[in-house]
Amino acid sequence: MTRPTSASNSTNAGVAIDSPLTRRRFVQAGSTAAATTLLAAPAVHAADDQSTRLALIGCGSRGSGAVIDALSVEGYGPVKLYAAADISEQRMNLAIKSLANKMGDKIDVPPERRYVGWDAYKTAIDSLRPGDVAMCTTRAYIRPTHVEYAVSKGINVFMEKPFSSDPAGAKQILRAAQAAKKNGVKIAAGLQCRHSPARQALIAKIRNGEMGEILSLQANRLGGVQWLPNQGAKANNLREQIQFGRVQLHWVGAGHMVDYLIHQIDECCWVKDAWPVSCRGFAGRAPNSTDRGQNLDLYNMEFTFADGAKAFCGFRRMKETGNDFATYLHGTKCSAQFSGNIHAATVHTYKDHRVADSNIDWKPVDDAATPWQYEWNAFIKSIRLDRPHNEAERAAYADLATQMGRAACHTGQTVTWDEMLQSEFSFCQNLEQWTNDTQPPALADENGQFEIPIPGKWTEV
């Protein structure tokens, strides 16, 4: 596999807003405010009703939030939710009802276009036409399979992060990226901060050499506890694990560090315009932990780039500890803040290396909308104007970089980028053959405890 040399943004840009809303809270608030209105343009879409149809595959909160963003795009023709698929009929029906209450007749999913079961994604994707979008928003373990199928059918893809649970899944996304390039399929990936004009303005200054050489980066996401209680009889049921294990079990959703910190690690790689060549780290559990899941509470990673620059990335979930959610850059000329709390576009440079509000030297124009909204504005615009839009390769490499950090912490070894590119490690096998009776990849013991990574004994590369 060709080694990547750049972490550059390769798609049309959008915008992000300095806002305290998470996507979950955004959905719950029912906000449908679009970003700045896009200019009207001729549609390039082979459709009787000239609408861009969406199929929601995985009807959780992230998928529902993405639907609202998609339906809020203005200026490039109508967009509607046309089909849905999930392994839970109840969850799907509740999601569609909630979305209809918020978005009205833009939700056009009658019972005959609500598909249930392990292979329901195929029927939902098959109901779409060229120019439509398969929204792959299930748990990460199955996302590569869904993306690959949609691309094989010539259907555009939006995929949420994390994009896979393991290196084998990330490489499956890479294969789909190459196939999409060949057949003109467009793919958007849920690393929405790449669509922030404020961040892009600072990137431009960095590329122009105004900060000097970037020698180090610091990115943290430190917050409260998310421990998994004993699941009792549900612990070793496959469908139940998929529900409670989104961030608690590595096979389901890659674990909480990968799920959340992928944004900040991707930001570091974007700033450096490169992917790290190696990572070392350490991790551990809080004293007296009662967590029955597989996560560790503390992750500390040191990524090294080819030029010797370092990115220090931290993740912590502990009680009664300080919170931090930000990315900082340190160049030879000055330092800067690149990102802020809950993905806010908190962007500015400092006069020197003192990180203080009183020392701010420059700020860009404030972003005007949420990064999620502008992510979708850019995607729908690319679809309607038939412009290239393929974020899949970059997303897969961001996934691999974050998984490299996880592996370094879990194994206690320095893990290299070449090792990640060569790895075929997978938590899950024979996904296409799964049924409700399949034994899940991870099993809890008699006390409800799932296996915890122990350095020297754990493998995931």
pLDDT one-digit tens code per residue, 67-109: 999 999 999 999 999 999 999 999 999 999 999 999 999 999 9
Nearest Cα neighbor of 389 from 181, 191, 225 is: 181
Provide the b/e sequence for 242-278 (b: ≥16 CB within 10 Å).
Answer: bbbbbbbbbbbbbbbbbbbbbbbbbbbbbbbbbbbbb
Please answer whether residues 431 and 141 qualify as being in contact, where contact means their C-beta atoms are separated by less than 8 angstroms.
Answer: yes
User: What residues have CB less than 8 Å from 204, skipping those under 6 apart?
Assistant: none
d(C-alpha 27, C-alpha 23), whole Å: 6
| pLDDT grade for 7, boundaries at 50, 70 and 90 | low
Place of tokens 């893809």: 157
Tell me what pLDDT residue 17 has. Answer: 28
Checking if the pLDDT of 112 tops 70, the result is: yes
pLDDT one-digit tens code per residue, 16-75: 323 333 444 333 433 333 333 333 333 444 445 789 999 999 999 999 999 999 999 999
Mean pLDDT of 126-149: 97
Q: Tokens at residue 288, please?
A: 């007296």
Tell me what pLDDT residue 45 has. Answer: 45
| Domains along the chain with CATH numbers | 23-194+372-390 (3.40.50.720), 197-366+400-433 (3.30.360.10)
Checking if the pLDDT of 348 tops 60, the result is: yes
What does the mean pLDDT of the chain come to? 91
d(C-alpha 391, C-alpha 189), whole Å: 6
Kindly calculate the radius of gyration of the chain based on its CA atoms and give it in whole angstroms.
21
- Taking the CA of residue 10 as centre, how many other CA atoms within 13 Å lie in the half-sphere pointing to its CB? 18
Tell me what pLDDT residue 268 has. Answer: 98
Q: Which residues pair with 281 in a beta bridge?
A: 301
Q: Which residues pair with 416 in a beta bridge?
A: 278
pLDDT one-digit tens code per residue, 328-340: 999 999 999 999 9
User: What residues have CB less than 8 Å from 411, skipping those under 6 apart?
Assistant: 453, 455, 456, 458, 459, 460, 461
Three-state secondary structure of the chain? CCCCCCCCCCCCCCCCCCCCCCHHHHHHHCCCCCCCCCCCCCCCCCCCCCCEEEEEECCCHHHHHHHHHHHCCCCCCCEEEEEEEECCHHHHHHHHHHHHHHHHHHECCCHHHEEECCCHHHHHHHCCCCCCEEEECCCHHHHHHHHHHHHHCCCEEEECCCCCCCHHHHHHHHHHHHHHHHHCCCEEECCHHHHCHHHHHHHHHHHCCCCCCEEEEEEEEEECCCCCCCCHHHCCCHHHHHHHCCCCCHHHHCCHHHHHHHHHHHHHHHHHCCCCCEEEEEEECCCCCCCCCCCCCEEEEEEECCCCCEEEEEEEECCCCCCEEEEEEEECCCEEEEECHHHCCCCEEECCCCCCHHHEEECCCCCCCCHHHHHHHHHHHHHHCCCCCECHHHHHHHHHHHHHHHHHHHHCCCEEHHHHHHCCCCCCCCHHHCCCCCCCCCCCCCCCCCCCCCCCCCCCC
> Do the strands 348-350 and 335-339 form a parallel or antiparallel pair, or are they unpaired?
antiparallel
Tell me what pLDDT residue 166 has. Answer: 98
d(C-alpha 454, C-alpha 387), whole Å: 47
d(C-alpha 105, C-alpha 110), whole Å: 11
Residues in the chain: 461
Tell me what pLDDT residue 214 has. Answer: 98
pLDDT one-digit tens code per residue, 198-250: 999 999 999 999 999 999 999 999 998 889 999 999 999 999 999 999 999 99
d(C-alpha 133, C-alpha 123), whole Å: 14
Mean pLDDT of 110-116: 97
Checking if the pLDDT of 313 tops 60, the result is: yes
Q: Which residues pair with 325 in a beta bridge?
A: 221
Tell me what pLDDT residue 135 has. Answer: 98
Nearest Cα neighbor of 169 from 139, 144, 194, 135 is: 144
| pLDDT grade for 129, boundaries at 50, 70 and 90 | very high
C-alpha angle 392-390-417 in degrees, rounded to nearest 5:
35
Phi, psi dihedral angles at 84 (to 5 degrees): -150, 155
Counting residues of the chain whose pLDDT is more than 90, the rounded percentage is 86
